[in-house]
């Protein structure tokens, strides 16, 4: 009789380690809620986010004096329902995160792979260009890029993706160089695998762990940076219910109406915190070197 030992599936092994980290599981749950809110914003929001109720300007949250349960978190200076705006804001943040990570990661991974496989001079040129981009503080560079492209959410996303992709390039290149000298790559090469096959089929899958972790981190950074640009008037433009833009609009009311300032910030903080918790868990689960630290 033959007994076979089956290796547990990769996903199951990952989940086993991920589950051990309580913070990561909480982060993941919050993130799932965030994504659901973003998807079903139209169904969940009690009001239209841009509808102005002129009789209800700056109404405080329902539980405080003067509040009204038809506006659970109160209204903003133009009489718009804060809760509905926050719910719709989740959509913009999720969108920013997905677009920025997709663009920055795919471009960054491609350049990183090319750099890792390129002859020495090519590698040096690519890495010097990345050094140049990284020499600028990222928010400042994004700000100037948006100034060039014109302030809008789309341009903010492009700018953030541009300043984030060097991180993917560096990460991919470092793991590629590490993997390239391994036996399995040499054997694939001897077996006649072409350069593209070596890059994408042989090496890339083994470099993905740190890239996935970076993906989570840059998702949260993208949300923060987009909100910061919105706050500075260089991101989404009013009346878009983007969280950072909402904060900018609320700024002059900070001493009169605490809720218009507090809630958008809490929304940003909770989302970013959840993603970072998740990122920590991902790192622990995917990176065997750090697993027991």
Partner 1 sequence: MIKYFLSKLLTFVPTFFGVTLISFAFIRVLPGDPIIVMAGERGLSDERYAELSAEYGFDRPILVQYWDYLTGVLQGDLGESFVTKKPVWDEFFALFPATLELALCAMVFAVVLGLPAGVIAAVNRGKLFDRTLMSTALVGYSMPIFWWALLLIIVFSGNLGWTPVSGRISLLYYFDTLTGFMLIDSLLSGQDGAFMSAVNHLVLPSIVLGTIPLAVIARQTRSAMLEVLSEDYIRTARAKGLAPVEVNGLHALRNALIPVITVIGLSVGTLMGGAILTETIFSWPGIGKWMLDSIFRRDYPVVQGGLLLIAVFVMIVNLTVDVLYGFINPKIRKR
What x/- string results for residues 127 through 146 when contact with partner 1 is judged by CB under 8 A?
Answer: -xx-xx--xxxxxxx-xx--
- Of residues 226, 210, 228, the one with CA closest to residue 279: 210
The number of residues that bind partner 1 (CB under 8 A) is: 43
Given 276, 282, 285, 286, the residue binding partner 1 (CB under 8 A)? 276
Q: Does 233 bind partner 1 (CB under 8 A)?
A: yes
Contact 236, 153 (CB under 8 A): yes
SS3 content of the chain, % helix, strand, coil (to 5): 75, 0, 25
Give strand pairing partners of 81: 75
Task: Kindly indicate which of the ranges 85-93, 110-118, 182-190, 228-236 contains the residues binding partner 1, using the contact rule CB under 8 A.
Answer: 228-236
CA pair distance 154, 146, nearest whole angstrom? 9
Residue 143 phi/psi, 5° resolution? -60, -45
Q: Does 165 bind partner 1 (CB under 8 A)?
A: no
Given 17, 23, 110, 212, the residue binding partner 1 (CB under 8 A)? 23
What x/- string results for residues 186 through 225 when contact with partner 1 is judged by CB under 8 A?
Answer: ----------------------------------x---x-
Query: What angle (nearest 5°) sits at the alpha carbon of residue 285, between those of residues 281 and 291?
Result: 105
Contact 98, 279 (CB under 8 A): no
Task: Kindly indicate which of the ranges 45-53, 59-67, 87-95, 275-283 contains the residues binding partner 1, using the contact rule CB under 8 A.
Answer: 275-283
Contacts of 145 (CB under 8 A, 6+ apart): 155, 158, 159, 162, 163
Q: Which residues bind partner 1 (CB under 8 A)?
A: 23, 128-129, 131-132, 135-141, 143-144, 147-148, 150, 220, 224, 227-228, 231-234, 244, 247, 251, 254-255, 258, 261-262, 264-265, 268-269, 272-273, 276-277, 280, 293
């Amino acid at each position: 009789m033959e007994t076979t030992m089956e290796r547990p599936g990769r996903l199951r092994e990952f989940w086993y380690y991920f589950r051990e980290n309580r913070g990561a599981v909480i982060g993941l749950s919050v993130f799932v809620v965030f994504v659901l809110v973003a998807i079903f914003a139209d169904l969940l929001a009690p009001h239209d986010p841009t509808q102005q109720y002129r009789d209800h300007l700056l109404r405080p949250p329902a539980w405080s004096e003067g509040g009204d349960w038809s506006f659970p978190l109160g209204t903003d200076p133009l009489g718009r329902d804060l809760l509905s705006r926050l719910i719709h804001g989740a959509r913009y943040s999720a969108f920013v995160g997905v677009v920025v990570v997709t663009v920055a990661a795919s471009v960054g991974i491609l350049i990183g792979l090319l750099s890792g496989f390129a002859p020495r001079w090519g590698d040096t040129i690519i890495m010097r260009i990345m050094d140049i981009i990284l020499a600028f503080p990222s928010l400042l560079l994004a700000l100037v890029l948006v100034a060039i492209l014109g302030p809008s959410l789309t341009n903010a996303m492009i700018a953030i993706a541009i300043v984030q992709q060097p991180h993917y390039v560096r990460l991919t290149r470092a793991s590629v160089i590490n993997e390239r000298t391994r036996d399995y790559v040499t054997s694939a090469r001897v077996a006649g695998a072409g350069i593209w096959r070596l890059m994408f089929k042989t090496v890339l899958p083994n470099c993905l762990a740190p890239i996935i972790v970076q993906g989570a981190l840059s998702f949260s950074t993208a949300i923060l940076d987009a909100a910061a640009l919105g706050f500075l008037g260089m991101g989404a433009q009013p009346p878009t219910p983007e969280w950072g833009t909402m904060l900018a609009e609320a700024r002059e009311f900070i001493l009169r109406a605490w809720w218009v300032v507090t809630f958008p910030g809490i929304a940003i903080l909770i989302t970013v915190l959840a993603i970072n918790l998740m990122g920590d868990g991902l790192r622990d689960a995917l990176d065997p070197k750090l697993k027991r630290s």
